Structure 1
């Protein structure tokens, strides 16, 4: 039987959250948006690479160097698209994490989306992020 330590260590090895992605140093990983073109055009995380899940097996190597860590995201916690994308990258041998919360929690925490018109952001939702402060977790 696995211990709680093993289970939680595994989760931290394979998952990250929007606050950690936002605060990560540039170049620590490649951020991959696994949604459709229409969803990408509606707004995506700044610095992300657009690579729909179905295209990962054929196109990952041309866009992301082997050995480069990857973080995948999709719409939100009600969608397992980021999980499927992470699995596709793992099958190709990439070190990969899934970003919990997806675009929904990125926006709810007040972080900007890149659109054709530039970056847009909303005020943080007090149900998921403290106003003008870090959560400290």
Structure 2
């Protein structure tokens, strides 16, 4: 009974924590990564475009290239970040949840082992086993 209740509680806790924690972590990480990565990509693209396009001094070409290149880079970076960050976040959250759930299971088992009903059952079983051993050894 104790095991089935604990299992259902653990499943419900895991599902709830996975949904809420993962959403907030993914949003925070994506916002941070998009800000930092986009700055560095924009600088690199601007430097490259400035070197190649500036020779012709064509502002219209620079604007067009900036818009199209930035869109494709943003899409590729977002897709890559979503895949890699989500994998690492899932692993980290699962490891954390496994540790916390395992601690709660250990606590529940220890609490049960410390109850009087379990201790009296254990004493009875040990006494019964020792009687059988003595009887078997004598005969």
Q: Which bracket does the TM-score occupy, shorter chain normalised?
A: under 0.3
Higher fraction of strand: 1
- Normalised by the length of structure 2, the TM-score is 0.21
The structure that is helix-richer by fraction is 2
**TM-score (structure 1 length as normaliser):** 0.21
Q: Which has the higher contact order (CA 8 A, sep 6+)?
A: 2
